[in-house]
Structure 1
């Protein structure tokens, strides 16, 4: 990965990190002020806190995606940050859940003390509580599905990277084999050329020897004649 691309990934992670810190700061402030609010304000604030928690989860998921673009040798530091951020949001989630249950419990007790319509009001509150719990479970399942999808995407990206690396190795090996074949062909052509030259040299040598023998015989015969 080039330095420019690495810096871009770091920049995106830092931007998401800033957004998360702002969201978490707002969540923490609202949680600290929660007990000082009226019942109506508490219910409204609880809804806002839950919405902010959902947004914080989405930001964490985006940061997790960006971490996959960072070199593997540097991911551990970012993964440690993500684990810390998830832990903070989980704590905030448990805290707001407890506060909302207290608000609902207090309202139930208030309805019961009025005497009129006590059973009907309690049933309605129980239904609301059950509906809220079902909604919380659905939100949790959606976040878990998103997390699994992100992990699957990360695994798929790593597999594609490995496949590309293996393809490059195969291409390089094929190029090396092609070059080796070319060298072998050149060597064979050189050997054939040398063999032809050696054969030609032998023919010339034999011809010279034959001529010399004929000349010697001719000289010897000329002496007797």
Structure 2
């Protein structure tokens, strides 16, 4: 039974590595070469795979709870390293999303101003300014979203640490309770032994009194026979 959490952990870890490798292939090759909607589709699939990898991390943390205390730190270190790798991939995916959005805006702008010259369109400079302002606003929103996501991940890590501390305290309380139960059983056993010793002592006392009484009677009988 002790090997079951370890085996399940390794299964989830294998699934995690498979998902991460698939995302790396997309980010390092396909997503860079693709354009437009094809790139967006690849990034969406990467997001889904990263969500699945995040779920594998959660499953691994659950399996760690059932492991022996002596091997827990080694597996907790593995999970910590996997989280670091996963967060790095999420950050790269967000950056590629932002790049794709900027490319789309720039493409739209190029198409818009390539169709007519500034002299033919008196509002082109104003439109260009609004477009640039929109791009800057989008970048700022993306940056704020990334910061919020980082804060959420940090909060999740803090919550996980608190949960681990609570589990450790629960184990200590359960260990103390077991120790107290063993002490109670030992005390009951010692009490029973003491009672038997007291009972045996009383029996020995009564036996000694009986022997003394018999001796006294015998002495009296001997003296009576001699005198008579």
Instruction: Classify the TM-score, shorter chain.
Output: 0.7 to 0.9
Shift of 1:191: 0.8
Taking only aligned residues, the RMSD between alpha carbons, in angstroms, comes to 2.4
Q: Choose which of 85, 91, 96 in structure 2 pairs with 1:94.
A: 91
SS of the aligned residue for 1:168 comes to: helix
Mapping 1:1-225, distance limit 5 Å = 4=1, 6-31=2-27, 32-107=29-104, 109-110=106-107, 114=113, 116=124, 117-218=127-228
Looking at structure 2, the residues matched to 211 and 13 of structure 1 have their Cα atoms a distance apart, in angstroms, of: 91
The TM-score normalised by the length of structure 2 is 0.80
Using the alignment, how far apart are the partners of 2:80 and 2:155 within structure 1?
Answer: 17
What is the CA distance between 1:14 and its match in structure 2? 2.4
SS at match of 1:190: helix
Task: For residue 42 of structure 1, report the CA deviation from its aligned partner.
Answer: 2.6
Give per-residue Cα distances to partners, 1:147-192, cap 9 Å, x unaligned: 3333322222222222112111111111111111111111111111
CA distances 1:64-113 after superposition (whole Å, capped 9, x unpaired): 22222211222343234323322322332333344344434444555665
Q: Distance in 2 between matches of 1:131 and 1:52?
A: 24
SS of 2:91's partner is helix
Q: Is the CA contact 2:102–2:135 (under 8 Å) kept in the aligned structure 1?
A: no
Where does structure 2 lack aligned partners over 5 or more consecutive residues? 119-123
1: CA distance between counterparts of 2:148 and 2:87? 16
Kept in 2: contact 1:19–1:59 (CA 8 A):
yes
How many residues matched? 214
**1:63, CA displacement in angstroms?**
1.2
